Amino acid sequence: MDQSWLNTLKTLVQQRPLVIFQFEEREWCRLQESRRGVSEFTCAKYHELVTTIRTPSICLLFGRDESQSKAYFGIVKSRAAVTTLESRVRVSCSRPILPSSIADLIRVATERRHVTQRRHQFDFNNSVIVLPPQLSVYLVEILADIETNHDSMRTVSASLSLPTRYNGMTDVQENALQTALSVFGLSSKDRAVSLVLPDGGQTALERISLEDYVIGHDARSLRRRTISESSRARGYCARPVPRSAWEPLGR
Protein backbone atom coordinates (compact mmCIF):
# COMPACT_ATOMS: atom_id res chain seq x y z
CA MET A 1 0.00 0.00 0.00
CA ASP A 2 1.31 3.43 -1.00
CA GLN A 3 2.35 5.35 2.13
CA SER A 4 3.96 8.33 0.38
CA TRP A 5 1.20 10.62 1.67
CA LEU A 6 2.11 9.71 5.25
CA ASN A 7 5.82 10.34 4.62
CA THR A 8 4.94 13.74 3.17
CA LEU A 9 2.98 14.68 6.29
CA LYS A 10 5.65 13.43 8.68
CA THR A 11 8.38 15.31 6.83
CA LEU A 12 6.36 18.52 6.94
CA VAL A 13 5.54 18.41 10.67
CA GLN A 14 9.19 17.65 11.39
CA GLN A 15 10.09 20.96 9.75
CA ARG A 16 6.94 22.92 10.57
CA PRO A 17 5.35 21.55 13.74
CA LEU A 18 1.72 20.55 14.14
CA VAL A 19 -0.71 23.24 15.35
CA ILE A 20 -3.79 22.51 17.46
CA PHE A 21 -6.75 24.92 17.42
CA GLN A 22 -9.56 24.62 19.96
CA PHE A 23 -12.81 26.50 19.47
CA GLU A 24 -15.54 27.33 21.94
CA GLU A 25 -19.00 26.00 21.17
CA ARG A 26 -20.42 29.33 19.96
CA GLU A 27 -17.44 30.04 17.72
CA TRP A 28 -17.47 26.50 16.30
CA CYS A 29 -21.17 26.68 15.45
CA ARG A 30 -20.66 29.97 13.63
CA LEU A 31 -17.80 28.46 11.64
CA GLN A 32 -19.98 25.51 10.63
CA GLU A 33 -22.65 27.91 9.43
CA SER A 34 -20.23 30.00 7.37
CA ARG A 35 -20.09 29.83 3.57
CA ARG A 36 -17.44 27.10 3.37
CA GLY A 37 -17.89 25.73 6.84
CA VAL A 38 -14.92 24.35 8.73
CA SER A 39 -13.25 23.20 5.49
CA GLU A 40 -11.91 26.69 4.76
CA PHE A 41 -12.01 29.81 6.92
CA THR A 42 -10.02 32.62 8.51
CA CYS A 43 -9.91 33.58 12.16
CA ALA A 44 -8.16 36.20 14.28
CA LYS A 45 -5.85 35.18 17.12
CA TYR A 46 -3.62 37.15 19.46
CA HIS A 47 -0.09 37.57 18.11
CA GLU A 48 1.53 35.73 21.01
CA LEU A 49 -0.53 32.59 20.29
CA VAL A 50 0.43 32.24 16.63
CA THR A 51 3.80 33.93 16.30
CA THR A 52 5.65 30.57 16.15
CA ILE A 53 3.40 29.09 13.44
CA ARG A 54 5.24 28.53 10.15
CA THR A 55 3.17 28.22 7.01
CA PRO A 56 2.11 26.04 5.41
CA SER A 57 1.75 23.69 8.35
CA ILE A 58 -0.58 20.87 9.38
CA CYS A 59 -3.25 21.65 11.95
CA LEU A 60 -5.84 19.86 14.06
CA LEU A 61 -9.15 21.60 14.71
CA PHE A 62 -11.28 20.66 17.71
CA GLY A 63 -14.74 21.99 18.41
CA ARG A 64 -18.09 21.03 19.83
CA ASP A 65 -21.63 21.89 18.80
CA GLU A 66 -24.80 21.19 20.75
CA SER A 67 -24.71 17.46 20.05
CA GLN A 68 -21.14 16.23 19.71
CA SER A 69 -17.41 16.93 19.55
CA LYS A 70 -15.72 17.06 16.15
CA ALA A 71 -12.14 17.10 14.88
CA TYR A 72 -10.67 18.12 11.54
CA PHE A 73 -7.27 17.70 9.88
CA GLY A 74 -6.20 20.63 7.70
CA ILE A 75 -3.58 23.12 6.58
CA VAL A 76 -2.63 26.52 7.97
CA LYS A 77 -2.10 28.36 4.70
CA SER A 78 -1.11 31.80 5.92
CA ARG A 79 -0.64 34.06 8.93
CA ALA A 80 -0.53 37.86 8.84
CA ALA A 81 -0.99 40.75 11.27
CA VAL A 82 -4.33 42.52 10.76
CA THR A 83 -4.59 44.64 13.92
CA THR A 84 -2.28 45.89 16.64
CA LEU A 85 -3.15 42.89 18.79
CA GLU A 86 -4.24 40.15 16.40
CA SER A 87 -3.12 38.09 13.42
CA ARG A 88 -5.35 36.55 10.78
CA VAL A 89 -4.86 32.82 10.32
CA ARG A 90 -6.16 31.14 7.18
CA VAL A 91 -7.05 27.44 7.38
CA SER A 92 -7.99 25.37 4.32
CA CYS A 93 -8.59 21.81 3.07
CA SER A 94 -9.88 20.65 6.47
CA ARG A 95 -11.29 17.13 6.59
CA PRO A 96 -12.97 15.22 9.47
CA ILE A 97 -10.89 12.75 11.47
CA LEU A 98 -10.94 10.69 14.66
CA PRO A 99 -10.58 10.92 17.65
CA SER A 100 -13.18 13.66 17.73
CA SER A 101 -11.93 15.44 20.86
CA ILE A 102 -8.55 16.49 22.17
CA ALA A 103 -9.24 14.57 25.39
CA ASP A 104 -9.63 11.34 23.41
CA LEU A 105 -6.51 12.10 21.39
CA ILE A 106 -4.48 12.62 24.56
CA ARG A 107 -5.87 9.40 26.01
CA VAL A 108 -4.74 7.45 22.94
CA ALA A 109 -1.43 9.28 22.74
CA THR A 110 -0.42 8.79 26.38
CA GLU A 111 0.53 5.21 25.55
CA ARG A 112 3.52 6.76 23.75
CA ARG A 113 6.32 7.80 26.07
CA HIS A 114 6.99 11.06 24.21
CA VAL A 115 3.51 12.33 24.99
CA THR A 116 3.63 11.18 28.60
CA GLN A 117 6.95 12.94 29.22
CA ARG A 118 5.96 16.18 27.50
CA ARG A 119 2.32 16.50 28.44
CA HIS A 120 3.05 18.69 31.45
CA GLN A 121 4.84 21.21 29.18
CA PHE A 122 1.61 22.21 27.40
CA ASP A 123 -1.55 23.90 28.52
CA PHE A 124 -4.12 21.97 26.53
CA ASN A 125 -6.74 24.53 27.56
CA ASN A 126 -5.17 27.15 25.27
CA SER A 127 -7.02 27.93 22.06
CA VAL A 128 -3.79 27.53 20.05
CA ILE A 129 -1.02 25.00 20.78
CA VAL A 130 2.13 24.64 18.67
CA LEU A 131 3.72 21.25 19.38
CA PRO A 132 7.42 20.35 19.08
CA PRO A 133 8.55 18.49 15.93
CA GLN A 134 9.07 15.05 17.48
CA LEU A 135 5.68 15.05 19.19
CA SER A 136 4.09 16.30 15.96
CA VAL A 137 5.44 13.28 14.07
CA TYR A 138 4.13 10.87 16.72
CA LEU A 139 0.65 12.39 16.64
CA VAL A 140 0.53 12.12 12.84
CA GLU A 141 1.48 8.46 13.15
CA ILE A 142 -1.22 7.90 15.76
CA LEU A 143 -3.85 9.47 13.51
CA ALA A 144 -2.62 7.40 10.55
CA ASP A 145 -3.07 4.21 12.57
CA ILE A 146 -6.84 4.83 12.34
CA GLU A 147 -7.87 3.57 8.91
CA THR A 148 -10.90 5.83 8.62
CA ASN A 149 -8.54 8.84 8.74
CA HIS A 150 -6.63 7.82 5.62
CA ASP A 151 -8.84 9.54 3.05
CA SER A 152 -8.77 12.85 4.92
CA MET A 153 -5.03 12.74 5.51
CA ARG A 154 -4.29 11.75 1.91
CA THR A 155 -6.40 14.65 0.66
CA VAL A 156 -4.47 17.12 2.82
CA SER A 157 -1.15 15.62 1.71
CA ALA A 158 -2.15 15.94 -1.97
CA SER A 159 -3.16 19.57 -1.44
CA LEU A 160 0.31 20.40 -0.14
CA SER A 161 1.81 19.63 -3.57
CA LEU A 162 -0.43 22.05 -5.47
CA PRO A 163 1.51 24.98 -6.99
CA THR A 164 1.01 28.48 -5.58
CA ARG A 165 2.17 30.18 -8.79
CA TYR A 166 1.21 29.24 -12.30
CA ASN A 167 3.24 29.43 -15.50
CA GLY A 168 0.62 29.11 -18.21
CA MET A 169 -2.66 27.28 -18.60
CA THR A 170 -1.13 23.83 -18.12
CA ASP A 171 -0.31 24.70 -14.50
CA VAL A 172 -3.86 25.96 -14.00
CA GLN A 173 -5.19 22.70 -15.46
CA GLU A 174 -2.98 20.68 -13.13
CA ASN A 175 -4.31 22.60 -10.13
CA ALA A 176 -7.89 21.95 -11.25
CA LEU A 177 -7.14 18.25 -11.81
CA GLN A 178 -5.51 17.79 -8.40
CA THR A 179 -8.38 19.61 -6.72
CA ALA A 180 -10.95 17.41 -8.50
CA LEU A 181 -9.10 14.25 -7.46
CA SER A 182 -8.75 15.42 -3.85
CA VAL A 183 -12.53 15.94 -3.61
CA PHE A 184 -12.88 12.16 -3.97
CA GLY A 185 -9.95 11.38 -1.66
CA LEU A 186 -7.63 10.60 -4.58
CA SER A 187 -4.27 11.85 -5.81
CA SER A 188 -2.34 11.66 -9.08
CA LYS A 189 -0.67 8.49 -7.76
CA ASP A 190 -3.93 6.54 -7.65
CA ARG A 191 -4.61 4.07 -10.46
CA ALA A 192 -6.80 5.14 -13.36
CA VAL A 193 -9.13 2.83 -15.25
CA SER A 194 -8.83 4.90 -18.43
CA LEU A 195 -7.14 8.04 -19.66
CA VAL A 196 -8.31 10.08 -22.66
CA LEU A 197 -5.97 12.74 -24.06
CA PRO A 198 -7.26 15.39 -26.49
CA ASP A 199 -5.80 15.58 -29.98
CA GLY A 200 -3.37 18.47 -30.28
CA GLY A 201 -2.44 21.08 -27.70
CA GLN A 202 -0.99 20.64 -24.21
CA THR A 203 -2.78 19.19 -21.24
CA ALA A 204 -1.94 18.66 -17.58
CA LEU A 205 -2.87 14.98 -17.99
CA GLU A 206 0.42 14.49 -19.82
CA ARG A 207 2.30 15.29 -16.60
CA ILE A 208 0.64 12.55 -14.59
CA SER A 209 2.23 9.11 -14.75
CA LEU A 210 -0.86 6.98 -15.26
CA GLU A 211 0.18 5.39 -18.57
CA ASP A 212 1.48 2.11 -17.10
CA TYR A 213 -1.80 1.46 -15.35
CA VAL A 214 -3.84 2.37 -18.42
CA ILE A 215 -1.78 0.01 -20.60
CA GLY A 216 -2.25 -2.72 -18.01
CA HIS A 217 -5.99 -2.20 -17.96
CA ASP A 218 -6.29 -2.16 -21.76
CA ALA A 219 -4.15 -5.30 -22.05
CA ARG A 220 -6.75 -7.21 -20.08
CA SER A 221 -9.28 -6.80 -22.90
CA LEU A 222 -7.28 -7.75 -26.02
CA ARG A 223 -9.53 -8.96 -28.82
CA ARG A 224 -9.84 -12.76 -28.86
CA ARG A 225 -7.43 -13.12 -25.93
CA THR A 226 -8.03 -14.00 -22.31
CA ILE A 227 -5.77 -13.03 -19.43
CA SER A 228 -3.68 -15.93 -18.17
CA GLU A 229 -1.73 -14.27 -15.38
CA SER A 230 -0.26 -10.92 -14.54
CA SER A 231 2.35 -9.42 -12.31
CA ARG A 232 4.52 -6.33 -12.28
CA ALA A 233 7.61 -8.44 -12.85
CA ARG A 234 6.36 -10.53 -15.81
CA GLY A 235 3.77 -8.17 -17.25
CA TYR A 236 0.76 -9.68 -19.00
CA CYS A 237 0.52 -13.09 -20.62
CA ALA A 238 -2.45 -13.54 -22.99
CA ARG A 239 -3.51 -16.83 -24.53
CA PRO A 240 -5.68 -17.32 -27.64
CA VAL A 241 -9.39 -17.88 -27.27
CA PRO A 242 -10.63 -21.07 -29.06
CA ARG A 243 -12.29 -20.39 -32.40
CA SER A 244 -15.56 -21.81 -31.08
CA ALA A 245 -15.70 -18.92 -28.59
CA TRP A 246 -15.17 -16.17 -31.17
CA GLU A 247 -18.83 -15.61 -31.97
CA PRO A 248 -19.78 -14.16 -28.56
CA LEU A 249 -16.83 -11.78 -28.84
CA GLY A 250 -17.80 -10.59 -32.32
CA ARG A 251 -15.72 -10.71 -35.47
Distance CA 213, CA 191 (A): 6
Residues paired with 128 in a beta bridge: 21
pLDDT, one tens digit per residue, over 53-104 is 999 999 999 999 888 999 999 999 999 999 999 999 999 999 999 999 998 9
Q: Model-level pTM?
A: 0.65
**Share of residues in the chain with pLDDT > 90 (%):** 48
Per-residue model confidence (pLDDT) at position 246: 47
Q: What is the mean pLDDT of residues 195-213?
A: 52
| CB-CB contact of 13 with 133 (8 Å) | yes
Give the lowest-confidence range in 41-55, 80-94, 208-222: 208-222
**pLDDT of 8 above 60:** yes
Burial 132-170 (b: 16+ CB within 10 A, else e): eeebbbbbbebbbeeeebbbbbbbbbbbbeeeeeeeeeb
Inform me whether the pLDDT recorded for 159 exceeds 50: yes
DSSP label of 208:
S
229-250 pLDDT per residue, tens: 544 443 444 445 455 554 444 4
Reported as a pLDDT band with limits 50, 70 and 90, residue 152 is very high
pLDDT of 70:
95
Residue 240 pairs in a beta bridge with 225
